Structures are given as structure tokens and as C-alpha cells.
Amino acid sequence: MNAPVNALDHSAPAGQANGIIDCDIHPFPRPGAIEQYLPERWRRHVAEYGKFTYGMYAAIGAYPRFQPYLSRRDSFPPNGGAPGSDVAFIREQLLDRYNIAYGVLEPLLGGNASRNLDEAAALCSAMNDWQASEFADPEPRLRASILVPQDDPEAAVKEIDKRAGDWRFCQIQLGSKTTEPIGRRRYWPIYAAAQANGLSIGLHVGGTFSTAPSAGGWPQFYVEEHHGLVHSMQNQCASMIFEGVFEAFPKLKIVLIEGGFAWAPTLGWRLDAHWAKMRDEVPQVKRPPSEYMRTNLWWATQPVEEPEHPEDLRQVFDWIGWDRMVYSSDYPHWDFDDPHQAFHFQMTETEKRQVFRDNALSVYTFR
């Protein structure tokens, strides 16, 4: 019943002109790689104080993970180093193998998570140089994300303006966990810069873990916390809609990455139902909340939902809208979604084109 359906069986032959687009690839630095792009002052600072994030451990997150580097066991490059650190092996194991036309780099290195805003700005800038020089330059199918110190919007906008015209960057990245809900006005300069530059924003799960993982407190286990990250995405959707972000920036494009999507239709219903009663509290919201979800939001597919009845996944796609879904693999992480294996129901040719390619082309800036 849950046998995989080869979604790409009938897709067009290889080549960048018709290859698929992968919205979530995680690059990882070789030892010392980021540091070489940092000014000496910050190199020393990072060496002494670390990234100084919100949390209890100096170097790792609160919830111990389940795999070294969060990665597939077979993704360690044969020439050594960490998964995602060797362009040649990414090419072999991912880009060539699955005929990927463009892959969006999503570094999860906590550059923007420091409580020290100057450190965050320095790290983001260094990581931007690193992605561009060590990934996009040698392999132009890989495109970088503009990392920004979002809690210092002025510095964030400076970084966006610096990178916006550079072909190697295709989006701005923010974490799904921010120190304040992401719709609040302190972040609006970032949206103004994104809209002005025609750049989409990829909201990837993670970010600054500055609040309890739940309004009910701290879960005990990773199995809870990992699932709970989905809620940060839901909160950010609600926040952007209710704070009026999409009224102020109607052309803003937000891609929600690695936060699941089966919740999207039901969240839309919930927002609509309660907005209908309490809209006098949020006069800046002019349309039913679910309508903004259909014009300004996209969902990356990984980790794909696996309903108990596989056809229910088609229902979820129908409810969200086929034009809103973009494929992502999460390479090289452990819960990687193989484009041939991940979807347990049959898509039509048109649907495949939308999910694996066309929708992403309408969102990202590939030059």
C-alpha cells in the first residue's frame, strides 16, 4: 500500500533545460573554511567565545541528534571530510544522479543565531562569501542563500543589497525560529529589501532558539522537539498574515522549507474561522488569511508527509494548490527525500513539472 511510486519515471531526458530544482541542499564547511572569510577580529572572537547562541551548550543545540552531522551514512565523501563539504561528491551523489538543474544551498550553521549582533553580521557575511566562492563558483548549478543577521535589520539590509545583483545568490534565508514572531515590524526592512530586489525568502526550520520549544515548556526528547519545529512554521505563517506583512509587501514570496505541509490547509481553515470573529483586532488583514497563503507562500516538500492512506497526500496537495509546492531533498541529511521514492502516489505529467521545476522557477532568482 505504501509502495513508492516513481514520480519521475516519465520525465524528460537529462539536461539543465529540463532538470529538476532542489530547494534544500545543506553545504558544510571544511575545517577552517568559514574562518578564512572572517576578519581577524572576528576570527579571534569566534575562537574564544564561539557563536554565543541562545542555549545551554557551547557548541551544540539543546536536543542531541540521532546521526553524526544529521546525515545519511553514505554521504561522507570518499576523500574525507563531512557530508556536504565536497562539491565533487555532491555532484556525483546528488546533482548528476538526479539531473538537478539548480540546487538551493541552505547553510544551517547558526551564522544568524548569535546573541551578539555584530558577530552575527560578520558570520553571515563570511558564510555568504564561502558559499559563493566554494560552491557556486566551481558548480554553478548550486546557488547560494543570502544569510542575514535578522535581529539587526539595518545590517541585514546592507548584506542583502551587497549580494542582490550577484548571480550566485538566489534567495534570502531566514530561520523559522526568530527572537520575535517574524511578522513583527522590526523585521519589515528585510521584507522591503527582498521585495525591492525581487528576491524570495526561504524560511528554513531552525534559527534562534530563544524561546521555549512549546508554550507548554521544554519537551524531554528529540522525537518531540523535532516534530515541534513544524509549529514554528505555522506560527510564522500566522504572524506574517495577521501583522499585515503581505498587505504592506504584496509581492513578497516566502518559501517554507523543511517544516512539513500537511498542516497548511487546516491552518488556513483555522485562521479563517477565528479571523472571521476577531477581525476587528487586526484591521490590517483585508482578506481571509488562507488567501494570503495562496498568493505569497510556497511549501518545500521534504520531509514529505506520509499519510496512512497514500492518496490522502494528493488531497493535501489539492487543498494547498499544486502551484504552491516545490521539491526539496534535504541532501545530505538523514531524512533525505529521493525524488523517485518519496511520493507514494502517482502525479500527472503537469503536476510533476509544477512540483519538480516550474513552481521553483517562478519563485527563485536563477540568473
Partner 1 sequence: MTVLPSGAIDCDIHPGVPEIKQLLRYMEPFWQESFVARGLDGFDMMSYPPNAPITCRPDWRRKGQRPGSSLADMRRDALDAFGINLAICNPLTGGQIAVSETMGAAICSAVNDWIIEHWLNQDSRLRASIVVPAQAPYLAVEEIERRASDRRFVQILMPVACEMMLGRSYYWPIYEAAVKHDLPIGLHAGSMYRYAPTSTGWPSHYVQDYVANSNIFEDQLLSLVSNGIFVKYPSLRVVLLESGVSWLPGFLWRAIKTWRGVRAEVPWVKQSPADTIRENVRLTVQPIDAPPDPNTIERLMQMIDSDRMLLFASDYPHWQFEGDKVLPDGLSPALRQRIRIDNPLETYPRLKETVQ
Q: Distance (Å, rounded) from C-alpha 25 to C-alpha 37? A: 21
| 329 forms part of the interface with partner 1 (CB under 8 A) | no
| 341 forms part of the interface with partner 1 (CB under 8 A) | no
| 227 forms part of the interface with partner 1 (CB under 8 A) | yes
| 211 forms part of the interface with partner 1 (CB under 8 A) | yes
Among 224, 247, 323, 349, binds partner 1 (CB under 8 A): 224
Q: Distance (Å, rounded) from C-alpha 24 to C-alpha 103? A: 7
| 71 forms part of the interface with partner 1 (CB under 8 A) | no
Of 247-266, which residues contact partner 1 (CB under 8 A)?
260, 262-263, 266
| 218 forms part of the interface with partner 1 (CB under 8 A) | yes
Shortest separation between residue 263's beta carbon and partner 1, angstroms:
5
Of 263-322, which residues contact partner 1 (CB under 8 A)?
263, 266-267, 269-275, 277-278, 280-282, 303, 305-309, 312, 315-316
| 231 forms part of the interface with partner 1 (CB under 8 A) | yes
State the DSSP H helix or E strand holding residue 356, giving kind and residue range, or none if neither.
none
**Closest C-alpha among 32, 135, 30 to residue 81:** 30
Of 127-156, which residues contact partner 1 (CB under 8 A)?
none
Q: Distance (Å, rounded) from C-alpha 91 to C-alpha 184? A: 40
Cell numbers representing residue 131 in the block: 558559499
**Closest C-alpha among 51, 54, 28, 27 to residue 38:** 51
Q: Distance (Å, rounded) from C-alpha 160 to C-alpha 199? A: 9
Q: Name the one residue in this structure whose C-alpha cell is 543577521.
A: 149
Shortest separation between residue 216's beta carbon and partner 1, angstroms:
4
| 236 forms part of the interface with partner 1 (CB under 8 A) | yes
Cell numbers representing residue 263 in the block: 498542516
**Closest C-alpha among 159, 130, 126 to residue 142:** 130
Among 76, 242, 246, 356, binds partner 1 (CB under 8 A): 242
Among 221, 247, 295, 361, binds partner 1 (CB under 8 A): 221
Under rule CB under 8 A, how many of the chain's residues touch partner 1?
67
| 238 forms part of the interface with partner 1 (CB under 8 A) | yes
> β-pairing, 20-25 with 201-207?
unpaired
Q: Which is nearer to partner 1, 29 or 175 (CB)?
A: 175
| 73 forms part of the interface with partner 1 (CB under 8 A) | no
Q: Distance (Å, rounded) from C-alpha 80 to C-alpha 86? A: 9
Q: Distance (Å, rounded) from C-alpha 31 to C-alpha 19? A: 32
Q: Distance (Å, rounded) from C-alpha 111 to C-alpha 88? A: 25
Among 116, 197, 210, 346, binds partner 1 (CB under 8 A): 210
Cell numbers representing residue 146 in the block: 543570502
| 55 forms part of the interface with partner 1 (CB under 8 A) | no
| 219 forms part of the interface with partner 1 (CB under 8 A) | yes
Shortest separation between residue 341's beta carbon and partner 1, angstroms:
14
> β-pairing, 100-105 with 201-207?
unpaired
Rg, Å, the chain Cα set: 20
Among 226, 287, 294, 340, binds partner 1 (CB under 8 A): 226
Q: What angle do CA 272, 276, 282 make, to 5 degrees?
A: 95
| 222 forms part of the interface with partner 1 (CB under 8 A) | yes
Q: Are 171 and 254 in contact (CB under 8 A)?
A: no
Of 172-191, which residues contact partner 1 (CB under 8 A)?
176-184
Binding site for partner 1 (CB under 8 A): 66, 176-184, 210-224, 226-232, 234-236, 238-239, 242-243, 260, 262-263, 266-267, 269-275, 277-278, 280-282, 303, 305-309, 312, 315-316, 334-335
